[in-house]
Amino acid sequence: MRRFLIVAVFLAMVSLYMLTIATGNSSKLADYFWWILAAAGILIGGLLAVLMRYAWLLMRDSRRGIFGSQIARRLAGMFTLVAVLPGMFLFGVSAQFITNSIDSWFGNDTQEALERSLNLSKSALNLSLDNTVRRATAIQIELISSASLGNDLAAALPQAAGAAEFSQLALYNLNNGRIEAERNPQRLPAPEPDKHTRELLSQAGSARSIESINNVLYAQGWLMLTEHNAQQTVLFFRQPIPANVAKDASLIEAARAKYAELSYAQQGLRTFFLVTLLAATLLAIMLALVWALYFARRFVEPILSLAEGARAVA
């Protein structure tokens, strides 16, 4: 029996360690959490069977009036109180602490701080987009002036002031969807206006947006140039957002997405930790009870031997 208890203690320590590791999302054992919990449940069931056997032996000895059974039963009861009460107290305190901690993670202050950070990030992105549109507008005015003088827009595009600052410039024909001229040293994807962009161009003469290409944020837009004989030519421009602004925006958006994911799984996360805590508490209590009953019987055995020796002498 002692070997069984030693093996049970070792398996319980391994199970608790693996459960602790599996609670982390980045852990390799996270996918096997429920399997580990099931193994711990089997161990708890085995310890419960041993505990019930010891309890049955104590009750049997007590009913038979075996000498020393009353002492063993009282010792078992005392050890049980010593093992169970502290364990239940710690479980209650820890469960309350976990619940309050998880609720504090998702408080209004945290959500408001993330929303304000996201608004600041959007403001910085919009400011960068406005600056890009302002520089592109200067090129638009220059090209319109050149067209009014009868010059070729395709030839005037690369010579426009400030054209070298853009990663991509293109003259796009909205009617046939062809690019009439382009400056694209970085070989970025060709522009493709959607239905919403075409509506904005027909109504306001311009459209703007922010797009991610190869994990790089670009400020891009469309500006109407000419509309002659039902032929609509627009200027397409694309320029990268400043690296520091783009990095901050990406980090804030990732943090907000992670927070939203955790908020959605808040109840499951609370259950996840409480189940782990309950399994650890049950393992500890079962081990303590089995060891307590084992030592209670072992403690009485010398008294029983002494009593038998006394009867033999008598």
| β 206-213/168-173 pair status | unpaired
Span 108-116, mean pLDDT? 71
User: What does the pLDDT look like over 248-268, one tens digit per residue?
Assistant: 777 777 777 777 666 665 666
User: What does the pLDDT look like over 210-228, one tens digit per residue?
Assistant: 888 888 888 888 888 876 5
Name, of 35-44, 65-74, 80-89, the range with top average pLDDT: 35-44
Place of tokens 């200027």: 235
Span 181-193, mean pLDDT? 83
pLDDT of amino acid 65: 65
Q: In terms of C-beta density within 10 A (0-12 exposed, 13-18 middle, 19 or more buried), how is residue 221 classed?
A: buried
pTM of the model as a whole: 0.51
Burial profile 61-95: b = 16 or more Cβ within 10 angstroms, e = fewer = beeeeeebbeebbebbeebbeebeeebeeebeebb
**Higher-confidence residue: 232 or 307?**
232
The pLDDT of residue 229 is above 50: no
| 24 — pLDDT class (breaks 50, 70, 90) | low
The pLDDT of residue 106 is above 70: no
Residue among 152, 291, 153 nearest 223 (CA): 153
The pLDDT of residue 122 is above 60: yes
At residue 167, φ and ψ (nearest 5 deg) are -75, -25
Contacts of 287 (CB under 8 A, 6+ apart): 5, 8, 9, 12, 47
The pLDDT of residue 202 is above 80: no
3-state class of 233 per DSSP? strand
Spatial distance between the Cα atoms of 110 and 65, rounded to a whole number of angstroms: 66
The pLDDT of residue 141 is above 80: yes
Spatial distance between the Cα atoms of 133 and 219, rounded to a whole number of angstroms: 8
And the tokens for 213? Answer: 């290409």
The pLDDT of residue 66 is above 70: no
The pLDDT of residue 160 is above 70: yes
- For residues 279 and 37, the answer to whether their CB atoms sit within 8 Å is yes
Name, of 66-70, 201-205, 267-271, the range with top average pLDDT: 201-205
pLDDT of amino acid 26: 60
Count CB atoms within 10 A of the CB of residue 197.
Answer: 20
Q: What letter represents residue 69's amino acid? A: S
Exposure of 54 in the CB half-sphere (CA atoms within 13 A): 25
Span 150-159, mean pLDDT? 76
Angle at Cα 310 formed by Cα 305 and Cα 314, nearest 5°? Answer: 150
pLDDT of amino acid 3: 74
| 85 — pLDDT class (breaks 50, 70, 90) | confident
The pLDDT of residue 281 is above 60: yes
Spatial distance between the Cα atoms of 288 and 52, rounded to a whole number of angstroms: 14
What is the separation of C-alpha 240 from the centre of its chain, rounded to a whole number of angstroms? 30
pLDDT of amino acid 11: 78
Q: End-to-end alpha-carbon separation of the chain, Å?
A: 34
Q: Please say whether the dihedral angle defined by the alpha carbons of residues 300, 301, 306 and 311, taken in this order, is positive or negative.
A: positive
| 108 — pLDDT class (breaks 50, 70, 90) | low
Q: Please say whether the dihedral angle defined by the alpha carbons of residues 132, 133, 134 and 136, taken in this order, is positive or negative.
A: positive
Span 30-57, mean pLDDT? 79
